[in-house]
Amino acid sequence: MTERIPTRLIETLSPTPLRLTPSQAGGAIHTRSFSGRFRNLRLYGAGFLFLLFFGTAWLDWGGRQAVLWDLSAHRFYIFGATFWPQDFILLSALLIICAFGLFAITVVAGRIWCGYTCPQSVWTWVFMWAEKTLEGDRNQRIKLDAAPWNADKLLRRGAKHGLWLAVSLLTALTFVGYFTPIRPLATELFSLRLEGVAGFWIAFFALATYLNAGWMREKVCVHMCPYARFQSVMFDDNTLLVAYDAARGEGRGPRRKGSDPRAQGLGDCIDCTLCVQVCPTGIDIRDGLQIDCIGCAACVDACDTVMDKMGYARGLVGYRSQRQLEGGRTRLLRPRLVGYAGVLLVMIGAFVWALQIRPLVSLDVSKDRGLFRENAIGQVENIYTLKIINKTQQARRYRLALAEPGPFELHAPRELALAPGEILDLPVSVALTDAAPASSSQGLRFAVTALDDPGLRSEAGSTFTAPLQR
């Protein structure tokens, strides 16, 4: 007993290879909704990232916003730690580590970052969900597009754009809230009192989100994203990419469920084009690997559903390597990957070490422009300005001294009290106790040491200038 394939699976899209994707041809892409394990994976991953992004901005830690890049105070707070402009080398190192991590993941699984966690993709999926909720699934949206303007179309379109704008505004508020304390920012925004620089950036990021995720979508991935352009150089024969198993799938064509496709000269692809209909970039994965493919695996889920219904094995479209497609086995451990992983481990180790030894008190010295002067008791004297930063979260007392006094005498308070995060600019003078200096320019070092923790110490050097003949 044979059974026809449900007609809704056999849409009348052209089965011939598409030379221009709708995106490339400038047409709108109406994706069909689908379910499956990769969609669930993306849903959980994106949900977690969304929570992280929107939730963290509202968290408090130690009486202040937990994560805040305070531009006006030149400080970056991340939970209990405070980073200063002098620590930005650490933040740069962190970015380099993330980039290397991304390279390593790309070697293993191609554009998996693009399909699952890239903000452009995540926000686009959210906007597509809003579109589907308010305008219906693929066929209803195609009909709505073609329909003349009437009250229903106006209402649906208006609601969709309203929801897109609301998500965009919240996104922008949250993003700017990582640079300006978010609570007062939100109060000003929702009471329509927001102006100035923060107002400009919220409007800018809201517009960028609305345009990128609502209107430009896959065009950003295909035409604008620089990462899409160069990541293919990281691929090798063992990189897992979403691919169609042409040897198994061809020749494609409709058939009755339960019939023997081989007897009809057919492969496992029933040519239902569902894989094309769910693709957010509008491509046909059966045409081979394409730069437009963001590796989201929507086509894998769609095709697996079809295979289940047909009683065929899953995986006609799936993650596989070039080597696998040619009949071999994917090698996970390979020199390039081991190299990336090794460098990554070394970098993470160095980063953790640098974090551990990061000085939590900082001392900078700048010498006064005047070369020297004579003080009231006839000693040669140089003037300096010390900049001391207490980078800890506690109020602390520090001892100030010359590291090796030698012939010098420091004229400054011996003890300093600094509040958490306080920056102290302190003018001091150093006098020469020798009547006849050995050189016209000698080095000297200042030191600050926490009274309650001698390990909390910083030194900085400068020079002392004196006339040789007096």
**Least separation in angstroms between CB 296 and ligand SF4:** 4
**Per-position DSSP letters for 97-164, written without gaps between them:** HHHHHHHHHHHHHTTHHHHHT-HHHHHHHHHHHHHHHHH-SHHHHHHHHHSPP-HHHHHHHHHHHHHH
**Least separation in angstroms between CB 8 and ligand SF4:** 12
Any contact of residue 456 with ligand SF4 (CB under 6 A)? Answer: no
Is the Cβ–Cβ distance between 258 and 3 less than 8 Å?
yes
Distances (CA, A) of 333 to 104, 107, 242, 343, 345: 12, 11, 20, 15, 16
**Least separation in angstroms between CB 271 and ligand SF4:** 5
- Per DSSP, 27 falls in state -
Separation of CA 242 from chain center:
23
Q: Phi-psi bin for 312: left (phi > 0), alpha (psi -120 to 50), beta? A: beta
Burial 77-107 (b: 16+ CB within 10 A, else e): beeeebbbeebeeeeebeeebeebbbbbbbb
Smaller CB separation from ligand SF4, 298 or 430: 298
Binding mask 146-185 for ligand SF4 (x = CB under 6 A): ----------------------------------------
Question: What are the beta bridge partners of residue 432?
Answer: 408
Question: What are the beta bridge partners of residue 381?
Answer: 373, 431
- Segment near ligand SF4 (CB under 6 A), from 89-97, 131-139, 156-164, 244-252? 244-252
Q: In whole angstroms, what is the distance from residue 271 CA to residue 445 CA?
A: 78
Angle of helix 151-177 versus helix 37-56 axis, rounded to 10? 60
Question: What are the beta bridge partners of residue 450?
Answer: 398
Smaller CB separation from ligand SF4, 282 or 421: 282
Smaller CB separation from ligand SF4, 267 or 437: 267
Is the Cβ–Cβ distance between 38 and 299 less than 8 Å?
no
Of 154, 66, 45, 14, whose CA–CA distance to 393 is shortest?
66
**Per-position DSSP letters for 318-337, written without gaps between them:** EEE-HHHHTT----SS-HHH
Is the Cβ–Cβ distance between 281 and 219 less than 8 Å?
no
**Least separation in angstroms between CB 38 and ligand SF4:** 9
Read off the amino acid at residue 242.
Answer: V
Any contact of residue 239 with ligand SF4 (CB under 6 A)? Answer: no
Any contact of residue 242 with ligand SF4 (CB under 6 A)? Answer: yes
Any contact of residue 386 with ligand SF4 (CB under 6 A)? Answer: no
Any contact of residue 269 with ligand SF4 (CB under 6 A)? Answer: yes
Considering only residues 295 to 334 of the shown chain, the ones binding ligand SF4 according to CB under 6 A are 295-299, 302-303, 306, 316-317
Find the binder of ligand SF4 among 121, 124, 171, 273 (CB under 6 A): 273
Tokens describing residue 178? 């990582």
Smaller CB separation from ligand SF4, 272 or 400: 272
- Segment near ligand SF4 (CB under 6 A), from 60-68, 97-105, 286-294, 400-408? 286-294
Tokens describing residue 464? 């002392």
CA dihedral 121, 127, 128, 132 (to 10 degrees): 160
Smaller CB separation from ligand SF4, 62 or 258: 258
Any contact of residue 228 with ligand SF4 (CB under 6 A)? Answer: no
Find the binder of ligand SF4 among 128, 198, 283, 460 (CB under 6 A): 283
**Least separation in angstroms between CB 63 and ligand SF4:** 46
- Segment near ligand SF4 (CB under 6 A), from 102-110, 255-263, 268-276, 413-421? 268-276
Any contact of residue 134 with ligand SF4 (CB under 6 A)? Answer: no
**Per-position DSSP letters for 66-77, written without gaps between them:** SEEEETTTTEEE
Residues contacting ligand SF4: total by CB under 6 A: 30
- Segment near ligand SF4 (CB under 6 A), from 70-78, 224-232, 280-288, 327-335? 280-288
Find the binder of ligand SF4 among 87, 131, 271, 381 (CB under 6 A): 271
Any contact of residue 206 with ligand SF4 (CB under 6 A)? Answer: no
Any contact of residue 128 with ligand SF4 (CB under 6 A)? Answer: no
Smaller CB separation from ligand SF4, 278 or 361: 278
**Least separation in angstroms between CB 422 and ligand SF4:** 53
Find the binder of ligand SF4 among 106, 124, 231, 281 (CB under 6 A): 281
Binding mask 1-40 for ligand SF4 (x = CB under 6 A): ----------------------------------------
Per CB under 6 A, residues contacting ligand SF4 are 242, 244, 249, 252, 269-275, 278-281, 283, 285-286, 293-299, 302-303, 306, 316-317
